[in-house]
Amino acid sequence: MRGNEADAVFNRCSRKLYSIAMGVTGNRPMAEDAVHQALVGFLATQPDPDNLEAYLCRCVRNEALRAVTGQRRFIPDDSEFLTDTMESEWSKPEDEAFLRQVCDALTALSDDQRETIVMHIFGGLTFKEISDVREAPLGTVTSWYRRGIASLKTGVLNDE
Amino acid sequence: MNDFEERLKALKLVEPSERYTSYARSLFRASEPKKPMGLAWALAACLALSLSANLYLISVDHDQPSGSEVVNRGGATKQIHGVYVPGNANQPHLRIKENS
């Protein structure tokens, strides 16, 4: 039964799925809803893809894109993106300042660059996995990442 | 991975919210095939027992001596131990025991 397999994939990859949706929406409730909606769709139709994990990842991204259709992608909650979802027990004020700079700089990146960085850095997806989810060549994904990281670094350093 | 990336990585995402995981689990639970109700289980068990017992009920003549062998409906050879089932004489049934 594919439902059981999907359950196992979710147990293993819940954070990956979540980060894929977060990379698109930048909004925690929207990201959670996108994952749930993708699961509902899967369980209702029970398709039989070769690679269930990659399939679910793509479904989640599609749902996240659908959720932000007609509006600007990556809509942080009152600039609280990540701060709401990251470890909140900051021991040092500079860590929190760094986090805020990262959030601002992420918002300024292109959609492709931001998604790739969020998936890779925060979701732990490999470039190959991102390439499968995005259905883009591996070289393109690494290019998005490299340029995104460079822009992010510049943005953060300029903000300091 | 350079220092900057390492520093970014240290900003770990927390586990998704409790709602996120609990709702997903409820979706998987709801998708599991429904288990038969207790009554249905009981009926099924009765039916199975009945069928099983029936294999060991054979029709034999009343004068078939105890100790003789008969083949039951399941195809197994059994030895009669002469335990009669009370009932209609026109339907002489003899309950036999396993000859261990």
For the stretch A31-55, pLDDT in tens is: 889 999 999 999 888 888 888 888 9
State the average pLDDT over residues B75-91. Answer: 58
Interface test with B, best of A9, A13, A14, A106 (most B CBs within 10 A): A14
Work out the percent of chain A whose per-residue pLDDT is above 90.
36
Dump pLDDT digits (tens) for B34-61: 666 677 777 787 777 766 655 555 555 5
Please tell me which residue of chain B has the smallest CA distance to A7. Answer: B28
Burial of B56 (0-12, 13-18, 19+ CB in 10 A): middle
Q: Report the C-alpha gap between A46 and A40 in whole angstroms.
A: 10
Minimal Cβ distance to B24: which of A35, A149, A152: A35
The answer to whether residue B92 scores a pLDDT higher than 50 is no
Looking at CA atoms only, how far is residue B32 from chain A in angstroms? 7
Segment A70-91 shows an average pLDDT of 53
Residue B32 has pLDDT above 50, yes or no: yes
Count of all residues that appear for chain B in the document = 100
Is A14 in contact with B20 (CB distance < 8 Å)? yes
Chain A with chain B: Cβ pairs closer than 8 A: 74
Q: Is the confidence at residue B1, as pLDDT, over 70?
A: no
Distance from CA of A43 to the nearest CA of B (A): 7
Q: Provide the pLDDT confidence category of residue A136 given band limits of 50, 70 and 90.
A: very high
Of A36, A86, A153, which has the smallest distance from its Cβ to B4's Cβ?
A: A153
* Single pTM value for the model: 0.66
Q: How far is CA A26 from CA A19, A122, B26, in A?
A: 9, 12, 25
The complex scores an ipTM of 0.72
Q: Which range among A7-16, B37-46, B56-65, B71-80 shows the weakest confidence by mean pLDDT?
A: B56-65
Determine the angle formed by the axes of helices A2-25 and A52-67, rounding to 10 degrees. Answer: 40
Residue B35: list chain A partners with CB under 8 A.
Answer: none
The residues in A 72-131 lying below 8 A from B, measured between CB atoms, are: 82, 85-88, 95, 98-99, 102, 117, 121-123
Write the DSSP symbol of residue A86: B
Which has the higher per-residue pLDDT, A90 or B65? B65
Q: Which two tokens stand for residue A120?
A: 């890779």
Q: Which of B17, B28, B29, B35 to mutate to test the interface with A (most CBs of A within 10 A)?
A: B28
Q: Is A70 helix (H, G, I), strand (E, B) or coil?
A: coil
Q: Which is more confident, A85 or B21?
A: B21
The total number of residues written for chain A in this structure: 160
pLDDT at A57 over 50: yes
So what's the pLDDT on residue A149? Answer: 94
The rounded Cα A148 to chain-centroid distance in angstroms is 14
